[in-house]
Copies of this chain bind each other. A is one copy, B any other.
């Protein structure tokens, strides 16, 4: 009895847009591991979270000669739209894995909620496609992706050899240090952190106020089992993520104590 070996299909997207160095590095890191198809936003879409495009239609165009020999598409939509378009309009079968990134900037802790990179990965996971979001703790365009590429290859190669859960979803962040300074990979939980908002108030040329969103990152989680700790200590952080947002502990508590139907 012979088992047919099929080449894995690797769907790649991001939120920094198709021209960002991060996605090029991601393609280069995994192109030997399967048949890569890129479907990415035609412009930066950072901070889009799990936004989808409802009020306006979407464009989807094939791009030639972007990544040598790799089928490439750009869309006018959000990262989540890209995954939806890839699944419905581009790929002829479900991809074996979806990779998102490599994001320019951290997506550890609470950033997972705001991140277009992670939302694209989560959308794939909802679609029963094992999925990973990758981010580097350096937001600059000229960031050095050498170490990140090394670990992306290692992680994806390892996972493609195993039987992955169809909803597997990982949030992987890389410290911005050279490869030899990285101590290894650490499985972590999402640190409890938030941003303290501090809107920058300005006046436009007509004397009217406008506001730029800025904020200071505050980590409340002092444990050594979090992604923030791992990154501060030069580990690659891997947080397994889920899209069931039910708070089961609070559910139990409310079922017991909240006699709302008796009021």
10 nearest CB pairs, A to B = A49-B50, A240-B250, A242-B247, A88-B197, A240-B247, A49-B49, A57-B210, A51-B51, A189-B246, A47-B54
Contact between A59 and B190, CB atoms less than 8 A apart: no
Contact between A254 and B187, CB atoms less than 8 A apart: yes
Instruction: Output the least CB separation between A29 and chain B (Å).
Output: 15
Contact between A168 and B49, CB atoms less than 8 A apart: no
Instruction: Output the least CB separation between A221 and chain B (Å).
Output: 10
Q: Please count how many residues in chain A sit with their CB below 8 Å of the partner chain's CB atoms.
A: 77
Contacts of A258 in B (CB 8 A): 158, 162, 187
Instruction: Identify which of residues 162-212 in chain A touch chain B, using a CB-to-CB cut-off of 8 Å.
Output: 162, 165, 168-169, 184-185, 187-190, 192, 194, 197-199, 201-202, 208-212
Within 8 Å of chain B (Cβ to Cβ): is A148? no
Within 8 Å of chain B (Cβ to Cβ): is A9? no
Within 8 Å of chain B (Cβ to Cβ): is A32? no
A47-B51, A84-B199, A113-B122 are known; give 6 further A-B pairs, CB within 8 A: A47-B52, A49-B51, A49-B119, A59-B208, A60-B211, A127-B194
Instruction: Give Cα A51–Cα B211 distance, bound, in whole angstroms.
Output: 16
**CB closest chain-B residue, reference A198:** B88
Contact between B127 and A192, CB atoms less than 8 A apart: no
Instruction: Give Cα A155–Cα B155 distance, bound, in whole angstroms.
Output: 47
Contact between A47 and B58, CB atoms less than 8 A apart: no
Q: Which of A52, A162, A208 has the most CB of B within 10 A?
A: A52
Within 8 Å of chain B (Cβ to Cβ): is A263? yes
Contacts of A51 in B (CB 8 A): 47-51, 78, 114
Q: A50-B50, A50-B113, A241-B245 are in contact. Are A250 and B199 (CB under 8 A)?
A: no
**CB closest chain-B residue, reference A119:** B49
Q: A51-B48, A114-B50, A212-B57 are in contact. Are A260 and B158 (CB under 8 A)?
A: yes
Within 8 Å of chain B (Cβ to Cβ): is A65? no
Q: Which of A59, A85, A251 has the most CB of B within 10 A?
A: A251
Within 8 Å of chain B (Cβ to Cβ): is A126? yes
**CB closest chain-B residue, reference A242:** B247
| A110: contacting residue among B126, B211, B254, B260, CB under 8 A | B126
Contact between A112 and B158, CB atoms less than 8 A apart: no
| A244: contacting residue among B192, B260, B261, CB under 8 A | B192
Within 8 Å of chain B (Cβ to Cβ): is A213? yes
